[in-house]
Amino acid sequence: MISWYFSALAALVLMGIQRFFYKVAAEKKYPTEWVTFSFMATVTVLSAGLYFYQQRQEPDIAYLLAVSFVNSAAFLVATVSHIEALKYIPANIAYSIIRLNVVLVAVFSIFYFKEHISLFQGLGLVAAVAAMIALTTQMGADTTKPKQRRRGTVFILLALLGGATASVSSKFAAMHGDNLAFMALSYLMGMIGSLGITRALSYDTAKENRLPALGLGIVMGGFNFAGFYAFLYALERGPLSLIASIVGMHFVIAIVLSAIIYREKIKPVGFLGILLTIMSIILIRL
């Protein structure tokens, strides 16, 4: 049986690649609503198909609907806000601040779930938070215009809160529900919700961008399906505070890919943050 630690590492890599595609969508100026719809539809189809193929027992429908609704609403807000934030704030800053939601998740899980962690694991959690804080210090030095920065900050805060809520609700689902059924319902609700954001977003995007946006969403959906399933698998077997800390480091992969492909500069403090990230992953394993 795969341990929760290695399952969390798999989720880290897969979700890191998927999150990089948020940057691609922002750079290409693809319609956010179409990317989000395609992405969530892909996960819905894959999850539902595998659920019915395996012929699992019927879960508690009322509980599953409730936790799926909370998760889908939170994740939809986080996803849309994440993509929109990247249109105003550099990726290395946006990803870093958004992933500070791991602090909220860790505090909640330690007090609510009464999770006990070892000294080394506690140091790893501290190192993870330090890595994110180190990376956020670049905020004041970027060249983003004040008006753009304010808009980006609003979206970043929404993404942060939405991400924390989605992580906590995922823990409840993993503890008491069927993972594939939860994924199918949650992303189905998110897919329906994504159809309603078109009027809320006032960006003029050429219609010819819709097809590549849908294609990118399908690719994102494939990576997210595998990554989110690995995340839920880990949550069934391990502590939310540590798993959220590991998986929350996936933004480092997105930052590195953004630096390589879009030539976004990583300052010395950024390299320090990446080093602290690696250190935190090692400590949590001890």
- Which pLDDT score, from 0 to 100, does residue 233 have? 92
Domain positions in the chain? 4-285
- Average the pLDDT over 137-148 and give the result: 57
- Which pLDDT score, from 0 to 100, does residue 232 have? 92
- Which pLDDT score, from 0 to 100, does residue 226 have? 94
Q: Is the model's pLDDT at 238 over the cut of 80?
A: yes
Task: Please state, in angstroms and rounded to a whole number, the distance separating the CA atoms of residues 263 and 182.
Answer: 38
> Of 67-71, 142-146, 273-277, where does the model show the most confidence?
67-71
> Of 94-98, 185-189, 265-269, where does the model show the most confidence?
185-189
Q: Is the model's pLDDT at 42 over the cut of 90?
A: yes
Over residues 158-176, the pLDDT tens digits come to 888 998 898 899 989 888 7
pTM attached to this predicted model: 0.78
Give 75's contacts (C-beta < 8 A, 6+ positions apart).
162, 163, 166, 186, 190
- Which pLDDT score, from 0 to 100, does residue 137 have? 61
- Which pLDDT score, from 0 to 100, does residue 202 have? 47
Report how far Cα 213 is from the mean position of its chain's Cα atoms: 19
Task: Please state, in angstroms and rounded to a whole number, the distance separating the CA atoms of residues 79 and 248.
Answer: 14
Q: Name the pLDDT band for 198 (thresholds 50, 70, 90).
A: low
- Which pLDDT score, from 0 to 100, does residue 89 have? 78
Task: Please state, in angstroms and rounded to a whole number, the distance separating the CA atoms of residues 180 and 185.
Answer: 9
Buried b (16+ CB within 10 A) or exposed e, 240-267: bbbbbbbbbbbbbbbbbbbeeeeebebe
